């Protein structure tokens, strides 16, 4: 997968539009604790992983809501295709860099590290996360049932990305980010990460 798509503003605008749709769905359901209305409570993120990335028009905001009712006021963070959990690196970067790092050693790993602005140590940590924590997560257990061919956790996320049904690389990446979006919701963050 070519990482050049990460440098295009259209790609990030597309992901932001998807996040807005996911946020609208969350807001429409109201507070899952008391049924109150949800008000905007976005917060800023300083995402890393794409040199010179300028999201524009709020792309650095993590869309989130807060219940209106006194005594509740709980935060509701909807799923996101831009952010993968609490990681500071953008979700697309985590997926692509880890997929590209599979099987690499030495100098090639260092070059990949420099391209994405992520340390080799972090790339190795992400590889471990895919093999261990993600492979044990309920999101992965649900995804496994949707796949026509069983995948080994050792080959994640590259094999998962290759298994997406879209024909264009960028569409496969977005398809996978949509499937991973529940990992970034407030409910999933409380239960797992």
* Rounded CA separation 38/128 (Å): 36
Which helix (H) or strand (E) covers residue 10, if one does?
helix 9-29
| Residue 38: closest CA among 186, 190, 156 | 186
What predicted TM-score, i.e. pTM, was given to this entire model?
A: 0.89
Facing residues of 167 across strands? none
pLDDT one-digit tens code per residue, 28-64:
999 999 999 999 999 988 888 776 556 566 678 899 9
Give 79-131 pLDDT, tens digit per residue: 999 999 888 889 999 999 999 888 877 788 888 888 888 899 999 999 999 99
- Distance (Å, rounded) from C-alpha 73 to C-alpha 50? 35
145 CB-contact burial (10 Å; exposed 0-12 / middle 13-18 / buried 19+): exposed
Alpha-carbon gap, residue 82 to 47, rounded angstroms: 9
**Domain segments of the chain: what residues?**
3-191
């Amino acid at each position: 997968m070519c990482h050049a798509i990460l440098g295009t503003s259209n790609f990030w605008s597309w992901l932001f539009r998807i996040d807005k749709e996911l946020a609208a769905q969350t807001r429409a359901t109201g507070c899952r604790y008391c049924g109150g209305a949800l008000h905007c409570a976005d917060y800023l993120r300083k995402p890393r992983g794409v040199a010179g990335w300028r999201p524009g028009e709020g792309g650095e905001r993590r869309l989130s809501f807060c219940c209106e009712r006194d005594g509740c006021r709980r935060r509701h963070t909807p799923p996101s295709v831009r952010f993968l959990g609490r990681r500071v690196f953008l979700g697309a970067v985590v997926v692509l860099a880890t997929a590209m790092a599979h099987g690499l050693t030495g100098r090639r790993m260092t070059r990949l590290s420099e391209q994405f602005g992520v340390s080799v140590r972090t790339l190795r940590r992400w590889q471990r996360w895919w093999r261990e924590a993600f492979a044990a997560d309920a999101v992965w257990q649900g995804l496994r049932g949707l796949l026509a061919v069983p995948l080994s956790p050792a080959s994640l996320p590259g094999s998962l990305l290759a298994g997406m049904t879209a024909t264009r690389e960028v569409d496969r990446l977005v398809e996978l980010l949509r499937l991973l979006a529940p990992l970034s919701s407030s409910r999933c963050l409380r239960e797992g990460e």
